[in-house]
Amino acid sequence: MAATKGVCFPQGFLSSGIRSGIRKNRLKLDLALVTSQTRAAAAAVYTTNKVKGAPILVTQEHLADGYAQAIIVNSGIANTCTADGHAIAGAMCALVEQHAGIPQGDVIVASTGVIGEPLPIMPIATGMPDLVVGLKADSLNAAHAIMTTDTYKKEAGVTFTLGGKECRIGGMAKGSGMIHPNMATMLAFLTCDAAAEPSVLQAMLKEAADDTFNLLSVDGDTSTNDMLCILSNGMAGNPPVTDAESPDGKVLQGALKEICRQLCKLLAADGEGASHLLECNVHGAATVADARKLARSVVSSNLTKAAFYGADANWGRILCAMGYSGADFNPAKVEVVLRSEAGSVIVCENGAGVGLDEDFAKRVLTEKAIHIDITCGDGAADATAYGCDLTYEYVKINGDYRT
Amino acid sequence: MAATKGVCFPQGFLSSGIRSGIRKNRLKLDLALVTSQTRAAAAAVYTTNKVKGAPILVTQEHLADGYAQAIIVNSGIANTCTADGHAIAGAMCALVEQHAGIPQGDVIVASTGVIGEPLPIMPIATGMPDLVVGLKADSLNAAHAIMTTDTYKKEAGVTFTLGGKECRIGGMAKGSGMIHPNMATMLAFLTCDAAAEPSVLQAMLKEAADDTFNLLSVDGDTSTNDMLCILSNGMAGNPPVTDAESPDGKVLQGALKEICRQLCKLLAADGEGASHLLECNVHGAATVADARKLARSVVSSNLTKAAFYGADANWGRILCAMGYSGADFNPAKVEVVLRSEAGSVIVCENGAGVGLDEDFAKRVLTEKAIHIDITCGDGAADATAYGCDLTYEYVKINGDYRT
């Protein structure tokens, strides 16, 4: 049975993952490679952090022409804030050229892990033959190799039709801390077999990120190493998409948003220490920008997140987080409903509290996935943001991450 | 022996605090009153949250003329996001007029506690005679009555000289969650016996807040009810300060900053669940605005805060937080030193890690008060921000605050 998700879901992609030993006392896989059979249109969205990891800078150079053919990623060390980071990231790409025959200028490189520790090139060089030999149409090892504190691998897949041809997007991502709007320590790699112009692909990827990954928050810390990228190799045989506004462009845009949304939910649910997945749906905002600001402020609020950890319907904190979001809205019109598989409970109408069955609310909030439905009454714009609760476990994980 | 701090430290101020029973199962004091013997120049800085507590709106109206004579404050319920909030806040001021003879238009009103629950006026009305009878030149009860999750009362005092006259500022504040730059759930009440023009006092208070309270962060949540205010009654007999740039103006400005700084440190050290006080000193930034952004981003980062909880010298997170602060700086020039009573350790030079004695670093970071000294090399501007670590206890407190 063929895979229905992951980076090998579309035609013409192989992947591999090994344990190179970048970090001594780690048994887990730490080095991944993804290759396309042919050179592919490529696009990427990067962290907005002013301190950018060296791999980001090298990838930006390599994608300047809009094409790439491989992705190499290590976990464990971020290759950021070190003196030789740029040279090391470049060397990783050169190793791909040497062992897999793909020009280093067509290689995307990414790293995730501790900032400030030097990334040793030797384990990567030593492991490269095995990494290349291991390439196959199976994404399992690659999806594991990019994980850091993630508790499970994150893969998704979407099928769609362009010009009568079935096309596919596959993807893998890793979280799970330092995640906040505008590309936090979040790496997501998409593969696609549709044909599309690089510039159109870039615009679509940006729009998909704004509507999904940039509305995802685990802890408010925007990482130095975030990257969302796509390789689209055209092997599906569709007429190339050259206009985002064309019917085919809209189909591709929809598929891109869908796979990003699937990966976001997986990331949020696996936020460091998370015990609840939070999904905040804002309806009826004046503009999309306002809707997005409101939704992401709610899922980013430590106080709101801690309340959901305690299954406490402390909706005042939701109003508070909306209030400091920077969005334009009328607090007096706001309605808030909390919803889960156990039912839904209205907690605020016209900006003020309504009588609340605390026992029932507690039951609603004890479920794993919680929806916060906010209606503004200011317009017709919507947005959805994803996050998780703030738990003891988050503090524990981050109190001794390095040691 | 006269008090050396608190709202009764300057001449002509009395205060009182009682348990009115605003929240049923609370034994603690919950209602405070501060009065000045004469009508005083008044100034205030408020939350920037778009959802503003009703007391904020009423106080803004009452301070429009630049004068006030009393402050009434309750803890337990925030009087925010309720249908009748404005009327209740007005009624609290009217009760002060009725029982203490101070016109309601000269009363500052503030509330702190749960958002969205109606604030009952009856306990306040019933308690008012006792509250007024209890007025004396002792700030102990008032300082306790404004506390919520604070674990200790917060008072400060500063003495200075204007025109040959000794002047005093006293103050009390409460934290300790929902504290973040730009006036979070933070109430601070200053009293002063210097004579000053209201407009000059307002400008000076704003400047003091920007340099102190607005660089304080406990959890990144900007509250709906924040307020920093001052009553300055002129009883010290100094020639009124009418120009912030005059020699006397500078002395008063310095005293204001000093008392705000003292209260900030008390607030940060008592941040909800805090086990470490963090003080981030940024030196050599290009502008004061950049220095402030950098310093407060570092003390606001969940990841950095969690690392300090674990006494982990994970300085990469400090660089990361600087990077997403929005400040302009050159990452390649940054030096970071961690310092406490146990010694100091340099962790980053020229934006990259330096060899680190982990055992010694752990010893430095095990102390209660931690200084993060950052040198940018971009200019001559400095700033200091205050915060605390992120602990299990914070999550616990906020997971079941209401219940």
Q: How confident is the model at residue B160 (pLDDT cuts 50, 70, 90)?
A: very high
What is the model's pLDDT at position B218?
A: 61
**Mean pLDDT of all residues in B107-135:** 94
Which residues does residue B340 pair with via DSSP β-bridges, in sequence order? B343
More confident residue, B142 or B151: B142
Closest residue in chain B to residue A178, using alpha carbons only: B303
Contacts of B219 in chain A (CB under 8 A): 302-303
d(CA A72, CA A32): 6
Q: Is residue B403 scored above 60 in pLDDT? A: no
Q: Residue B114: list chain A partners with CB under 8 A.
A: 314, 316
What pLDDT score does A185 carry? Answer: 65
DSSP B370: E
A176 prior amide bond cis, ω within 30: yes
ipTM confidence score:
0.71
Instruction: List the single range of A74-88, B285-299, B300-314, B376-390 with lowest mean pLDDT.
Output: B300-314
CA–CA dist B296, B318 (Å, integer)? 11
Q: Token digits for B145? A: 């009555």
- What type of residue sits at position A56? I
Choose between B324 and B89: higher pLDDT: B89
How confident is the model at residue A182, as a pLDDT? 39
Considering A47, A59, A185, A224, which one is annotated as catalytic?
Answer: A185
Helix residue ranges per DSSP H, A162-287: 198-211, 247-269
Catalytic residue among B149, B185, B224, B391: B185
CB spacing of B48 vs A348 below 8 angstroms: no
As annotated, the residues of chain B forming the CATH 3.60.70.12 domain(s) are 13-269
B375 pLDDT higher than 80? yes
Judge contact between B348 and A76, C-beta under 8 A.
no
Confidence at B256, pLDDT banded by 50, 70, 90: very high
- CA nearest A395 in B: which residue? B306
Find out whether B189 and B155 touch, Cβ atoms under 8 Å.
no
- Smallest Cβ–Cβ distance between B115 and the set A52, A319, A396 belongs to A319
Of B47, B112, B102, the C-alpha closest to B78 is B112
List the beta bridge partners of residue B303.
none
- Above 50 in pLDDT, residue B159? yes
Q: What is the pLDDT of residue A183?
A: 38
- Residues of chain A in contact with residue B319, where contact means CB-CB under 8 angstroms, are 51, 81, 115-116, 224
pLDDT tens digit sequence for B71-112 = 999 998 999 888 899 999 999 999 999 999 999 999 999 999
Residue found under tokens 């800085």 = B45
3-state secondary structure of A246: coil
Cα–Cα separations (whole angstroms), residue A84 to A63, A127, A366: 21, 20, 48
| pTM for this model (two decimals) | 0.77
Where in chain A do CATH 3.10.20.340 domains reside? 277-399
Q: In this structure, which long-range contacts are made by residues A211-214, counting pairs with CB atoms below 8 Å and at least 24 apart in sequence? A: A211/A257, A211/A260, A211/A292, A211/A383, A212/A257, A212/A260, A212/A261, A212/A263, A212/A264, A213/A45, A213/A183, A213/A186, A213/A188, A213/A260, A213/A263, A213/A264, A214/A181, A214/A182, A214/A183, A214/A292, A214/A296
Interchain contact, B115 vs A220, CB within 8 Å: no
Contact criterion met (CB below 8 Å) for B375 and B331: no
| Residue pair A205/A213 in contact by the 8 Å Cβ criterion | no
Find chain A residues with C-beta within 8 A of B177's C-beta: 303
Across the interface, do B324 and A351 touch by the CB < 8 Å criterion?
no
Question: Alpha-carbon distance A377 to B210, whole Å?
Answer: 35
pLDDT-wise least confident of A206-220, B107-121, B139-153, B254-268: A206-220
If one compares B269 and B377, the residue with the highest pLDDT of the two is: B377
Region B13-269: CATH code: 3.60.70.12
Low-confidence ranges of chain A (pLDDT < 70): 1-2, 24-26, 176-185, 217-222, 394, 397-403
Quick one: what percent of chain B has pLDDT higher than 90? 64
Of B48, B224, B352, the CB nearest to A81: B352
CA distance between the termini of chain B: 42
pLDDT of residue A181: 39
Q: Specify whether A185 is catalytic.
A: yes
Exposed / middle / buried, residue B243 (Cβ in 10 Å: 0-12, 13-18, 19+): exposed
What is the assigned CATH class of domain B277-399? Answer: alpha beta
Of A116, A321, A394, the CB nearest to B348: A116
Residues A168 and A165: their CA atoms lie apart, in Å, by 10
Integer-rounded Cα Rg, in Å, for chain B is 21
Strands A13-18 and B227-232: unpaired
Please give the Cα distance from B105 to B66 (Å, whole number): 11
Q: At what angle do helices B54-62 and B85-100 cross, to 10 degrees?
A: 50
Give the per-residue pLDDT at B82: 87
> What's the DSSP call for residue A75?
E
Q: In this structure, what token pair is assigned to residue B192?
A: 């002063």
